Amino acid sequence: MSSCYRRVYLDFHQDLYSRYLFNPGSWYTGDGAPAWAASGYPQESCGLCFHWGQNMKNNTAVTAAIHDFWHNRNGVQDSFIAAAGEALRHVREALPAAEFKLVAGVDPLNEPYAGRYDQGQTSQTWERDLLMPFYRRFRAEMDAEGWAHKAAFVEPLVFWNQNVDFFAEPGGLTLVPALGERFVFNSHFYDGKAQSGVLMPGKASDGQYVSAFNTIRSRAQALGTTAIVSEFGHPVAGFTSDKNASVLKAMYQALDSTAAGAQWWSAPRGTVVSGSQWHWDTGYDRHHELMNDNPDKVKTEGDAMNDEHFSAIRLDAAGTPVFTVDRAVVDRVYPQAVAGTTLAFTYEDRVHQTWQQIPLPAVRALVGSAPFAVLVWDSTGGPAPTEVHLPESLRSPLVVSSANAAVNGDKLLLTGGPGRQFALVTAPSAGNTAAAEAELRQWHVSW
C-alpha cells in the first residue's frame, strides 16, 4: 500500500456458507463458517445442478445452515460479529495510521441470501427484518472498534438484480429506510444468460447492461447513499469465454455512464459507479487445494473454486503477472477523483467493436481509430485537481480540455476554475486540435 492513491475494502466472504457442509466426494464446495458452525445438518446434495450457485436454493444442508445463521441458532451470528470485531481491531492496530486511512470500509457478508423463508416471509421482508438488523449490528461493531468513519458496504439479497428470471427474486433493500452516507449500497452483477451459453447465444452489445446498472444507481439514490458494484466479470476460460471481451466492455460501459454508446453524445448524463472486477488471482492455474479435504480431489486449475475461471491475471513461468483477458479492456481511462460533480464520462477502448459514434466531425477526425475518453464535470474551483487514471497505452496522451492539464505518471491532473469543465483524452494525433476544442466547448454546455 505504498501508493497514496490505492484504496482497499475488507470483504467477509462466504460461498454456500461453509466447506464443512460438503462431503468429500461432492461436486461442489463452500467457504466461510468453521466446522463447529456447520455441524448437525443433513447430508448435502444439490441434485441436478448445472452451476454451483444453485446450491443456494437446492441444497438442503446449505439452506438450513444459512437460515440458522440469520436466526442466530446456537449464537452463531453473535460469534460471527464478535470474530469480525476482533479482526477489525487487529487490522486497525496493525496498520500504520497512514495505511489504515486508505481502507475505505468493510463488506459485512458476501452475497447474502435467506436459505429458506419463514412462514409469511418474502424476500423483501427478509431483507428488512433479518438482513438489515444484522448490518446495523455489524455497523455498531465497526464503530466500537475504531471504524466509525469508514463505510459499511452492504449488499442486498444476492438474487435481486439477477437476469435469469427463474433465479431472480425481488430485493434491493426496497423496504429499508434511507441508509445514509455511513452505508454504501453494494451490489454484484453477473450475466447469467451469457454464462449459460444457451440463454444468450451471441456477444454482448452496446448498452446491454445499462438498464441493470441504472437500477443499481436508482436503488442507491433512493436509499440516500452511493453505489458500488463490488463484483462483476465473466469467465476467461470455458465454452462461453469467447464472450469475455464484449461482456466486460459492456459492464464497464454501464459503470461509466447511464447511456449506451450510440446515444451517449446526445444524452451523456450519469454518475460513474465504482466497481471491482472479479477477480485478480495470482494463483490462477497454480493452486493446490484439497477440495473438501479430499486428497483424491486436488484442485489446480482456474480459481480452484467450483470450476470457476474468472481471474483477469495469472503468473507466467517466471512468476510475472500477465493478463488472461485483453489488456485494453481492463487497463483503461477512468476518473479516479473528481474535484466537484461528475456529469458525464465515457471510454471507448476499441477492443471488441466501436460502440461510440462521435457526431462532432473535428473531434471524430482528431480521434480517428484511437481509444478515447471524455469527462465532463462541475468543478468546485478549489486547489485539488481532478485526477484521471491513464492506462499504459495512453501515458503520453493528447488532452483537449477547458481545464489546465498535466500528466504525472499514470495520472492526468486537471485544474480549473469553478463551473462546467470538459476533457478529451486520446492518443497523439495530427488532426485539428483547435477545431476539436471549439466543437467540445460548444457541445459540453448544450445539454
pLDDT digit string, tens, across residues 341-386: 999 999 999 988 899 999 999 999 999 999 999 999 999 999 999 9
Render 112-160 in DSSP notation, one character per residue.
Answer: ---SSPPTT--HHHHIIIIIHHHHHHHHHHHHHTT-TTSEEEE---TTT
**Considering the entire predicted model, what is its pTM?**
0.96
CB 426 within 8 A of CB 346: no
Q: 444524452: which residue's cell?
A: 267
Residue 3 has pLDDT above 70, yes or no: no
pLDDT digit string, tens, across residues 109-126: 999 999 999 999 999 999
Residue 268 has pLDDT above 90, yes or no: no
- Provide the mean pLDDT of the chain: 96
Of 365, 330, 375, 370, the residue nearest 354 (C-alpha): 370
State the Cα–Cα distance between residues 74 and 47, nearest whole angstrom. 29
CB 317 within 8 A of CB 237: no
pLDDT > 70 in the chain, percent:
99
Average the pLDDT over 421-438 and give the result. 97
Residue 135 is placed in which grid cell? 448490518
pLDDT digit string, tens, across residues 69-102: 999 999 999 999 999 999 999 999 999 999 999 9
